[in-house]
Amino acid sequence: MRVFFDERQLRHAPTHYFRRGAAMPHQEQPERAEILRDMLIGEGFEITKPQDHGLDPIKAVHNPDYVDFLPTAHARFVESAGSEALAIPTMHPGVRRGKVPKDIHGQLGWWMTDTSTPLTEGTWDAAYWSAQTAVQTAETIASGERAAYALCRPPGHHAMRDCANGFCFFNNAAIAAHHLTRTYTKVALIDVDVHTGNGSLDIFYERGDVFFCSLHPDPATYPTFFLGHADETGEGDGAGKSLNLLLEQGASQEDVLATLDTGLSAIRDFGAEALVVSLGFDMAVDDPLAAVSVYPEGFAEMARRLAALNLPTALIQEGGYLGPSLADNARSFLTAFREASS
């Protein structure tokens, strides 16, 4: 199984963000990718740098004006506010598609925004090469490989068409899925990160060529809030092509796997010809952002069930933070997927 990663993805290095009103160390650190990279090397995976596919695959998914804003945004912010200020928004234009949640922290975000995507000097390089990693993975399976893994960092599945959100700048999985529609008529994107793939849902909500499925706790009471409710099933050409499968907070490994089976059945019914997996290891019981209870063997079983779809598959890294089992969870999933798809 091919693996893609570029060291420039380590250049985004946020120090802190605000959560529940308090400043705290930022969870999305370069060390996450270094841990996964080192595990891959130890398990005999060969890591290749992606080619530069340019901005076109990114702008095919994201608002071109948003994309063009990012390369110089940090420098412009520093020039205006100084180097000691945190490059986050403090003025907000209004709301987007979704529902008002019940949780106070979600309501603050509905009427305001989150603070989790501070710009740093290296953010553009990291986000750009994270997206290129996803494009290269899509190119690889479109060219006939059974499976490939993109060690994307920063992650992407919360990024919407025209905004950064939830640690994410470019929606790597959506970029990969759209890129695959050049080769395949029907593409499925399944999100097994513990958080709603709200950005992917936003991007594909009115499209009929990409089936989107996400497993996550109820967004009425759990981040990222707003999008990902069970009754959000798509509109227009996308009617019936979005599926949000809600988990109880604290759900057991068996519950998660049973819910995954529901999603896999829907993908089969859709008739998908290729698969993109938004792969988050923050379903782990000991992840710093834990909400459900998956263990290393559960990740291995998840991999086997996904591989059993027998589809060309692009694995796109999303969450999974600096908990004690991060490397073990990644090792279990990726080695099991490699074995099952060989």
Question: What pLDDT is recorded for position 154?
Answer: 98
Residue with token string 């290729």: 274
Domain count, the chain: 1
For 13-33, what is the mean pLDDT?
94
Q: Summarize the confidence of residues 225-234 as an average pLDDT.
A: 96
Q: What is the SS3 assignment for 73?
A: helix
Across all residues in the chain, what is the average pLDDT?
95
Q: Which residue has the tokens 């060690």?
A: 151
Identity of residue 340:
A
Binning pLDDT at 50, 70 and 90, where does residue 102 land?
Answer: confident
* pLDDT band for position 4 (cuts 50, 70, 90): very high
What pLDDT digit, counting tens, does each position of 154-167 carry?
A: 999 999 999 999 99
Q: Please give the pLDDT value at position 108.
A: 67
Q: What is the DSSP letter of 199?
A: H
Are 118 and 17 a contacting pair, CB within 8 Å? yes
- Please report which helix (H) or strand (E) contains residue 149, including its range: strand 147-150
Helix ranges (H only) for 168-312 are 172-180, 198-204, 253-270, 296-307
Share of the chain above pLDDT 90, in %: 90
3-state secondary structure of 122: coil
**128: Cα within 13 Å, side-chain hemisphere:** 18
Which segment, 82-86, 115-119, 268-272, is predicted with the most confidence on average? 268-272
Residue 46 to residues 33, 148, 149, Cα–Cα distance (Å): 15, 11, 11
Residues 73/27, Cβ–Cβ less than 8 Å? no
**Residue 192 confidence (pLDDT):** 98
* Catalytic position from the list 157, 158, 179, 216: 158
Kindly tell me if the per-residue pLDDT of 112 is higher than 70: no
Select from 117, 124, 118, 130 the least CA-distant residue to 7: 130
pLDDT at 93: 76
* Helix boundaries (H) for the chain: 30-42, 56-59, 64-81, 104-111, 123-142, 172-180, 198-204, 253-270, 296-307, 326-341
Label the pairing between strands 16-19 and 22-25: antiparallel
pLDDT band (50, 70, 90) for residue 338:
very high
Token pair belonging to 141: 């399976």
Q: Is the pLDDT score of 199 beyond 70? A: yes
Which residue type sits at 23?
Answer: A
Residue 258 is part of a domain; what is its CATH number?
3.40.800.20
Classify 84 as helix, strand or coil. Answer: coil
Place of tokens 């740098």: 49
Q: How many CB atoms lie within 10 A of CB 40?
A: 21
Local structure of 146: helix, strand or coil: coil
C-beta separation of 188 from 211 below 8 A: yes
Active-site residue, 158 included: yes
User: Is the CB of residue 28 less than 8 Å from the CB of residue 159?
Assistant: no
Residues of the domain holding 234: 2-341
Nearest to 95 by CA among 84, 108, 86: 108
Q: Which of 92, 85, 89, 111 is nearest to 100 (CA)?
A: 111
Q: What is the mean pLDDT of residues 130-149?
A: 98
For residues 3 and 337, what is the distance between their CA atoms, to the nearest angstrom? 13
Query: CB–CB of 205/235 below 8 Å?
Result: yes
pLDDT the model gives residue 141 = 98
The H or E element spanning position 139 is helix 123-142
Query: Which residue in the block uniquely carries the two structure tokens 């520093």?
Result: 78
Which amino acid, residue 305?
Answer: R
